[in-house]
Structure 1
Amino acid sequence: MNKQSTTLCVAGGSGFVGSNIVKTALAAGYRVNATLRDASDDSKTRHLQALPGASERLTLFSAEMTDTHSFDEAMAGADGVFIASLAPRHSGPDGTPASEMDDEQGWRDIIRPTADGCLAIMQAAARAGTANVVICSSTSSTNPPEPIAVKNELDAVSDAEEQMSRKKYTAAEKTVMEREAKAFAADNCQRLAILLPTFMLGPTVLPQHLERSLHASLASMVEGRKGQHETVPSGSISMAHIDDVATLFLAAYEQSAAEGRYFAVYDSWTWADIYSALAPHVPEAGLPAPLTGSAEEPTQFDFTRRDSLGVTFRDIPTTLAQTVDWIKQRPFG
């Protein structure tokens, strides 16, 4: 494959995952067509255009998931498309939190827009003859009603109706999206890979992403202020370095046999272990109060499929240390 003559489309190129896929694809030598809602938004585009290789091989396009034809120009000539524009929806257009919706509103305002947006991009790919599709989903689609001791991608499948019955519409949107994407891909001869990340840390391409979620929490802790927690929670989270996740996306495209679901996490750790690993890197004042009671058992994974793509993931202590060191450098001034 001549990478410099191969074009990849990244839908959602200004998002956290999408922008890192853009960075990784450019570093690998590909030409990249990236979409965002407004390609004239300088607060986003200037950071993408500053990436190494962008001046020669990155083109930005405006596109909106409610209009499948808005992706046609970006998809023209693309050998593969990465759908990374489907951020979780936690509230409806009227501001109603997902947890306060009934099934009708949850389906209309949370689930359908995500599934329809994914299908709109896949339809554009089908019209363009783009047969390789890689979707960013979430481990929220890997929680079956009957818990599995060790999760694998084939058996750990959420039930959308059961999720809706518990008002977990934000989780159900990924379950429904995957189900409908698989059916569309089968009907249109597309090779579909679905990647399943959870929390991701590491350097961000856009400064906006440093202001969100765990990045914002770590930034506060670096300054000696409490982050996300006042007290260490008893639960656990799954985590990975964003650069490793982006590399996994590219591997799923490049390996022609890659198809189906792949975990995109390094592992799951208790919060107690995470804060213990963070302690040497942040002021003590930024750390939460110790856990009272016992920590819950973290999720156990079978990473056979993930590892078949040949990507080595950084461990959690390394991911945490590298992220904190990067934040301390004040990368955006």
Structure 2
Amino acid sequence: MKRVCITGAGGYIGSWVVKLLLSKGYMVNGTVRDPCDETKNGHLKKLENAEERLHLFKADLLDFESLCAAFAGCSGVLHVASPVPLHVASNIPGSRVPNPQVEILDPAILGTQNVLNACLQAKVEKVVVVSSGSAVLVNPKWPPDMELDESCWTDIEYANSIQDWYGVSKTTAEMEALNFGKQHSLTVVTICPSLIIGPMLQSTINATSLLLLSYIKGEGRSVIDTMENLKRPYTDVRDLSEAILLLYENPESNGRYVCSAYSLGTKEVVAKMQSLFPGYNYPTTFIDRRDIPPLNSKKLLKLGWNYRPLEETIVDTIKNYEETGLMENGKPFPSMIRF
């Protein structure tokens, strides 16, 4: 039985990857900051087969030795962990990160370097690095009428100039990961997902779920009845998990892969949500903004990836929000967060 390690196992994406691997019969190692923190990681221990086949390790991306311990005996590593600042999901103009080097750049870049070196030491066979659509999207030289595919890379110099630290971090880390694989004969595959939505397994809400919740709840918006009508690329978190496992299991996977199911304006998404769940406090006025270009996932689809209908994602997500109390007044928006 193969053993695979997932970094950032307790996070939004990592939790679904752990659940999927356990359902497929894998032995699973998961890295978390604190295995004893039941608030952040207790949900992992309740997953089916977790008691028999899940081992959580206390690890930090900047602590090489802790990664080596977690990767020991693993045939594969799925590197999911990376901080996602609120402004990445929200597209709030002028959002600032107080200390980008510590908060974003080091965990993504140095963290990925540590992961790859630890993989070499543990004799791991294959690594899947979860990058981001942010490593594809920020390129002013790309023709505006062309879909963005694997050949498009975020312009690091330009991203630096506009202080898009997340784009800088993910692009740099992904480039270095692919080069590392070539230099050390280690199989490294990267995946660049779009905005990730869908139901949550973890109890602490993540940035993209906050954004989707703001479509439904007026208290999450700067102006109660108004939102920007920005076309964004979306993917269900469960479909992304399937894509990550597909890239790990398929011997033909190589290089980088864009992962995006839909490209929809806020107004379209809200209309779909309203038709399925009428009665909530949806925005009524939409201000058009320059759209984010569509991401092209043909390479991943050709490998055998599939994605579920948008309606299924919306139904499962809103039911999840209802069941976890997120639809109640005052939850989960702190007063300083508005979209």
Bucket of the pairwise TM-score, normalised by the shorter protein: 0.7 to 0.9
> Corresponding residue for 2:10?
14
TM-score between the two structures when normalised by the length of structure 1:
0.86
Distance 1:263 1:302 in 2: 7
Deviation at 1:185, TM superposition (A): 1.5
Quote the offset at 1:22 in angstroms: 0.5
Q: CA deviation at 1:327?
A: 2.5
Aligned to 2:255: 260
For residue 177 of structure 2, what is the amino acid of its counterpart? A
Indicate the residue corresponding to 2:130 in structure 1. Answer: 136
Within 5 Å, give how 1:174-185 maps onto structure 2. 174-185=170-181
Corresponding residue pairs, total: 318
Work out the CA distance in 2 between the residues paired with 1:106 and 1:187. 29
Task: Give the alignment's TM-score, normalised by structure 2.
Answer: 0.85
1-side partners of 2:192 and 2:181: how far apart? 18
Q: 174-183 or 109-118: which moved more?
A: 109-118
* 1:76 partner letter: A
Q: Which residue of 2 aligns with 1:165?
A: 161
Partners of 1:89 and 1:291 in 2: how far apart?
Answer: 25
State the Cα distance separating 1:295 from its structure 2 match.
Answer: 6.2
Q: Which residue of 1 aligns with 2:302?
A: 308
**Contact 2:10-2:202 at 8 Å conserved across structures:** yes
Secondary structure, counterpart of 2:171 in structure 1: helix
Cα-Cα RMSD: 2.7
Q: For 2:221 and 2:195, locate their aligned partners in 1 and report how far apart those are by CA, in whole Å.
A: 13
**1:193 partner SS:** strand
**CA apart distance, 1:205:** 1.6
* Map 1:180-329 → 2, pairs under 5 A: 180-208=176-204, 211-216=205-210, 225-228=218-221, 230=224, 231-292=226-287, 294=288, 296-297=290-291, 299-329=293-323
Q: Where do 5+ consecutive residues of structure 2 fail to align?
A: 88-92, 329-339
- The answer for the alignment partner of 2:336 in structure 1 is none
Show the counterpart of 2:331.
Answer: none
Tell me if the contact between 1:195 and 1:264 (Cα under 8 Å) persists in the aligned partners.
Answer: yes
> What is the rounded CA distance, in whole Å, between the counterparts of 1:234 and 1:46 in structure 2?
37
Partners of 1:111 and 1:176 within 8 A in 2? no
- Indicate the residue corresponding to 2:40 in structure 1: 44
Structure 1 window deviating more from structure 2 (278-287 vs 72-81): it is: 278-287
Counterpart secondary structure, 2:228: coil
The alpha-carbon deviation at position 316 of structure 1 amounts to 2.5
* CA distance in structure 1 between the partners assigned to 2:213 and 2:268 by the alignment: 19
What CA distance in whole angstroms lies between the structure 2 residues aligned with 1:151 and 1:141? 14
* Structure 1 position 299, deviation (Å): 2.4
Post-superposition CA distance 1:239-293 (Å, at most 9, x none)? 111111101000000001212211222121011111111112344451012225x
1:310 Cα deviation (Å)? 1.1
1:111 pairs, out of 96, 105, 109, with 105
Among candidates 28, 35, 52, match of residue 31 of structure 2: 35
Contact 1:272 / 1:295 at 8 angstroms: preserved in 2?
A: no
C-alpha contact (below 8 Å) 1:10/1:81 kept by paired residues: yes
Q: Which amino acid aligns with 1:311?
A: W
Matched-pair contact (CA < 8 Å) for 2:233–2:263: yes
Separation in structure 1 between the aligned mates of residue 186 and residue 241 of structure 2, nearest angstrom:
21
Q: CA deviation at 1:99?
A: 5.6
